Structure 1
Amino acid sequence: MFGPEIIEVATFRGHHEAGVNDRTTSQRGQNGMLLRDNIFGSIEEDAQRRDFTINSLYYSVADFTVRDYVGGMQDLKEGLIRLIGTPETRYREDPVRMLRAVRFAAKLNMRISPETAEPIPRLATLINDVPPARLFEESLKLLQAGYGFETYNLLREYNLFQPLFPTITRYFTENGDSAMERMIAQVLKNTDTRIHNDMRVNPAFLFAAMFWYPLLETAQRITQESGLAYYDAFALAANDVLDEGCRTLAIPKRITTLVRDIWQLQLRMSRRQGKRAWKLMEHPKFRAAFDLLSLRAEVERNQELQRLAQRWGEFQVSAPPEQKDMLTGLDDEPAPRRRHRRPRKRAPRREGTA
């Protein structure tokens, strides 16, 4: 603790010695991934163990200088993302470094050096070895940090989008102009705009938009193969799409529940008459569902959807004030509820005791 701040302190890491097989300090998988890493060393060795040169700069409080052991300052000035060591070896140690290279390049408007970029498309499938829970956190850093659209383009360029979202990648087109691809591009641009304007975002809306067209394709296939009513096929398709998505990204249930709500509301929003319409507007995720409807109308250039979205927009304007207060904005996340604990019952004091 340093006043009101918390400063994290890490021990310097050292090199892995060849031939040493002590499972308590260092362990690698068959694919070269580091499973355990408790080798400690000097600051010079620690600098070599960092991932990128721009991340290997040390500030000394002894003489107030920046110490650079790997040429990070020069790369910083030139706007280069350069991996320390042999790129293929470093990527095999931790495949997430490929995602970090892309994320830094998009966020900092920098270029990935040629030797750092070359192995990425070849080794992109190593992402499949990363635990899904870690990939979920990485996906939020990639797509919900204010530079999602630029990051998305780089992920596709380096074949890194497929191991993260295999369900979506199957529906990519050669020209990149399908409704799904336009939807992904627009929702990421909208998300970036909201973040830059200090507005809140919710990953549930992002995933609902990104997986919408794979959901429709799956629902149509189930309807044709099983003969089920479309509403039932739609529910089964939602299960299939989310289950497959969760196998790659461990999307928490609190998010998938909201995704389902937004999807189900798309079917109900065609009914906008009488009490049903007012009841629908009371749903906690109505505004997110309306925003997805508007987004669909925009990317599909569908006049019927555009009229429906316009009528729902006018309907909201005509709603009484108490009804409007119940609507939440695009991607808005409700504030966490505070739990009030019941006061403990104190045992009666005994005579003669303190």
Structure 2
Amino acid sequence: MPRQYPDPLRRFCRFLTRPFRQGSAPQRRIIPRDEHDISRQDFSRAALHVLYGLKDAGFEAYLVGGCLRDILTGIKPKDFDVVTNAHPEEIERVFRGARIIGRRFRLVHVRFKGEVIEVATFRAVTGQEEDEDDRHSRRSAGGQILRDNVYGTIEEDALRRDFTCNALYYDIRDFSLHDFADSLRDIEHRTLRLIGDPEQRYREDPVRMIRAVRFAAKLDFSIDPATEEPLARLAPLLQQVPSARLFEEVLKLFLSGQGQRTFALLQKHHLFDALFPATAEALDDDDGASDLKLIHAAMRNTDRRLAQEKPVTPAFLFAVLLWPALRRRVSFYLGHGMPPLQAMNKAAGQVIADQVGIVAIPRRYSAVVREIWDLQSRLPRRAGNRAAALMEHPRFRAAYDFLLLREEAGEIKPGLGEWWTRFQEAGDEARDDMLAGLGRQDSGPQNAPRKRRRRRRRSGGGASDNYSGGGQDE
């Protein structure tokens, strides 16, 4: 009979005999303080508090990942992540206010002066054989990691990270950088590269495909060919990810300040098709060009608002991203003789219901999405007291901005948006004159969706840059 080893020893023996993952560098390269540009002045007080607290308690403590990558690429980091050889219960004993969270990955949140630092224990490189033996680590039949609380060494922790640019470690003991995967080289060459076999890594966690696009757009990195190749082929795996998790990932995609470039990359690699299938199908229609322009204009102006540190509501983004699918569904019902109001209500409910099965949209946002859509048919009806009443609606500004986007994209003829712009700026007497000059109201033919014809997919898109975006902070 084969010799039976205790669990920790068995895992260690397997680690020694397992070949290193393709594309990774098993040798640790240590860059001393005088050979790199990262300084403790770049870190927050809370990050230093956690690093020194763990060090003084006798544990190893490193800053890791995105904060170091951002500093080296000239971006001010927003979050600081710490890794250590201390287990969650030990970390919790070191800091007051520390709290263990998570089941899939057990982490500790340490709060210090209003800032939260996420602290993780070194994770092990887990293969399928460990997953079968260890109750702390589980994979699905397709290879997706469902639970991963197998602790290991810093070397293993580095090799299980996703991209090389996220596998740098800053040692608080001597201020050196530890590089296990040629991270500095890839950051210098602005290359996004997965550690290990790309297909296996994507199957372990399909969200890595979204992260690849997000990092490439945010950092202006090119995606390594081996990392890029499986994206379109494995995109359907995203629909196996819990919809609530995808909601958070979609917000990161489009609220990173590089939404327009991110959208183009999602389309290029067919990831948008997996995230928003009904919209992707609508963009294939013969008159999908205006919808594509509308999305690009919205993304560009959202990026501009974020650069100006103005708020952006997810509801406005989802209203834009799902509008092509809504128009297509409304057109179908109108073509079957359904009255416009009924067609709009039924289509809106179905489009949102279908989408939340893939990307969850919390009710506080989906309700606003429907209000923005509903107001599109009401904005042309301005006679009497209607215009003043519409301006009192809590979603008026968002709906007005949405109307401007539709005009800009060429979906509807221009003029109504300019009228509403002047009406908002006019005094009472001028408003009375504008209402008196309306004549017969256009009650909405320009807003009725047109019947669509299929066409071949186009990429890109453009629009002018005069969209105010003000309604996004509604």
Give the shorter-chain TM-score range: 0.7 to 0.9
Shift of 1:318: 1.4
Amino acid at match of 2:372: I
Structure 2 unaligned segments of length 5 or more: list them: 1-45, 50-111, 432-468
Q: How far apart are the structure 2 equivalents of 1:23 and 1:259?
A: 45
Greater length-normalized contact order (CA 8 Å, ≥ 6 residues apart): 2
1:203 aligns with 2:344: no
Shift of 1:258: 0.3
Match of 1:53 among 154, 164, 167: 164
Amino acid at match of 2:339: A
Q: Hey, what does 1:315 align to over in structure 2?
A: 423
Q: How far apart are the structure 2 equivalents of 1:216 and 1:174?
A: 11
Q: Hey, what does 2:356 align to over in structure 1?
A: 246
Quick check: 2:291–2:411 contact (8 Å CA) kept in 1? no
Q: How far apart are the structure 2 equivalents of 1:211 and 1:257?
A: 13
Counting only pairs closer than 5 Å after superposition, residues 1-354 of structure 1 correspond to structure 2 as 2=49, 4=113, 5-20=115-130, 21-22=132-133, 24-173=135-284, 178-225=289-336, 227-300=337-410, 302-303=412-413, 306-319=414-427, 329-333=470-474
Shift of 1:80: 0.7
SS of 1:126 mapped into structure 2:
helix
SS of 2:256 mapped into structure 1:
coil
| Structure 2 CA distance for partners of 1:8 and 1:214, relative to 1, 3 Å | closer
Amino acid at match of 1:269: L
Query: Which TM-score applies when normalising by structure 1?
Result: 0.87
Shift of 1:307: 1.4
| Structure 2 CA distance for partners of 1:279 and 1:93, relative to 1, 3 Å | same
Amino acid at match of 1:232: Q
Quick check: 1:164–1:249 contact (8 Å CA) kept in 2? yes
Per-residue CA deviation, residues 9-66 of structure 1 (Å, 9 max, x unaligned), is 2100012255331352111101110111111111011000100111010000111011
SS of 2:177 mapped into structure 1:
strand
Q: How far apart are the structure 1 equivalents of 2:162 and 2:224?
A: 13
Amino acid at match of 1:309: G
Q: How far apart are the structure 1 equivalents of 2:285 and 2:342?
A: 32
| Structure 2 CA distance for partners of 1:17 and 1:249, relative to 1, 3 Å | closer
Shift of 1:272: 1.1
Query: Which TM-score applies when normalising by structure 2?
Result: 0.66
Quick check: 1:82–1:113 contact (8 Å CA) kept in 2? yes
Q: How far apart are the structure 1 equivalents of 2:415 and 2:295?
A: 22
Higher mean alpha-carbon deviation, 59-68 vs 215-224, is at 215-224
Shift of 1:232: 1.1
Q: How far apart are the structure 2 equivalents of 1:235 and 1:99?
A: 32
| Structure 2 CA distance for partners of 1:157 and 1:22, relative to 1, 3 Å | same
Shift of 1:177: 6.3
| Structure 2 CA distance for partners of 1:292 and 1:29, relative to 1, 3 Å | same
Q: How far apart are the structure 2 equivalents of 1:56 and 1:119?
A: 22
Quick check: 2:326–2:348 contact (8 Å CA) kept in 1? yes
| Structure 2 CA distance for partners of 1:140 and 1:175, relative to 1, 3 Å | same
More strand by share: 2
| Structure 2 CA distance for partners of 1:13 and 1:262, relative to 1, 3 Å | same
RMSD across aligned positions (CA): 1.9
Shift of 1:275: 1.0
SS of 2:142 mapped into structure 1:
coil
Quick check: 1:183–1:210 contact (8 Å CA) kept in 2? no
Q: How far apart are the structure 2 equivalents of 1:84 and 1:263?
A: 44
Quick check: 1:272–1:312 contact (8 Å CA) kept in 2? no
Shift of 1:217: 2.0
Shift of 1:228: 2.7
Shift of 1:93: 0.3
